[in-house]
Structure 1
Amino acid sequence: MILANVRGRLRGPDFRLVILALSRGDARQRARYERFLVEQGPDRLLDEPGLLEGLLAVRSLAVPSPPLFTYVAVRHVLLAAGIVDPELADYLAALLLEFGDHGRHAKIRPVDDESYHYLVDIVADLADEDDSDERGLLLRAHLGNYSLWLAGLFPDYIAARRTRAGGPDLPYYDELGRQGYRLAAEHRLAERFGVASIYRAAAARFPALRQAFNRLSDRVFFPDVTTPEKILRNM
Structure 2
Amino acid sequence: MVLANCRAQFTATDFDFVANVLSKQANQHISLIELLSDPECRDEMLDHEALPQALLSREGQVAVSQQLYFYVLTRTVLRRQGIEDRELADYIAALLWQFSTTQRMQSPHEKLPHRFQYIADMLAALSSASAAEAFLIRVHIGNYALFLSGMFHAWIERRQQRGAPDSSFYEQVGKSSFRTAATHKLAYQLELAQVYGQLAEGFRDARLALNELAQTVWKPNDAPPFSL
Cα contact 1:185–1:200 (8 A) shared by 2: yes
CA distance in 2, matches of 1:110, 1:55: 31
Amino acid across the alignment from 1:57: S
More divergent stretch after superposition (35-44 vs 206-215): 35-44
TM-score when scaled to structure 1?
0.84
Q: CA offsets per residue over residues 53-95 of structure 1, 9 Å max, x none?
A: 1222263896121111011111111111110111111111111
* Cross-structure match for 1:66: 66
Gaps of 5+ in 1: 227-235
Please say which of residues 135-144 and 32-41 is displaced more in the overlay: 32-41
Change (3 A) 1:187 1:21: same
Cα distance in 1 between the residues matched to 2:212 and 2:200: 19
In the other structure, the counterpart of 2:128 is 129
State the partner residue of 2:18: 18
The alignment covers a number of residue pairs equal to 220
Residue matched to 2:195: 198
Distance across 2 between alignment mates of 1:47 and 1:60: 16
Runs of 5+ consecutive residues of structure 2 not aligned to the other structure: 223-228
CA contact (8 A) 1:21 1:58 kept: no
Q: Which residue of 1 aligns with 2:181?
A: 184
Structure 1 segments, 4+ long, off by >3 Å, are 32-40, 58-62
Offset of residue 29 of structure 1: 2.2
Q: What's the secondary structure of 1:59's corresponding residue?
A: helix
**Shift of residue 191 of structure 1?**
0.8
Q: Deviation string for 1:104-138 (max 9, x for gaps)?
A: 11110134322221112212222x13542x21111
Cα distance in 2 for residues equivalent to 1:92 and 1:205: 13
Q: Which range moves more in the overlay, 186-195 or 88-97?
A: 186-195
- Structure 2 partner of 1:213: 210
Partner of 2:55: 55
Q: Share of identical aligned residues, percent?
A: 34
Residue type of the partner of 2:128? Answer: E
The answer on whether the counterparts of 2:15 and 2:32 sit within 8 Å (CA) in structure 1 is no
Deviation digits for residues 186-212 of structure 1 (CA, Å, limit 9, x no counterpart): 112211121111100111110000110
Normalising to structure 2: TM-score of the pair? 0.87
- Which one-letter code corresponds to 1:159 in the other structure? E
Q: C-alpha root-mean-square deviation of aligned residues, in Å?
A: 2.4
Partner SS for 1:222: coil
- Pair 1:149 & 2:184 matched: no
Deviates more, 1:174-183 or 1:104-113: 104-113
Question: Secondary structure, in 3 states, of the residue corresponding to 1:159?
Answer: helix
| TM-fit CA distance, 1:33 | 7.2
CA contact (8 A) 1:2 1:94 kept: yes
Q: Rate the CA distance shift 1:222–1:85 in 2: closer, same or farther, 3 A.
A: same
| SS of aligned partner of 1:113 | coil
2:219 aligned residue (216, 222, 233): 222
Change in 2 beyond 3 A, CA 1:174/1:62: closer
The structure whose RCO (Cα within 8 Å, separation 6+) is larger is 2
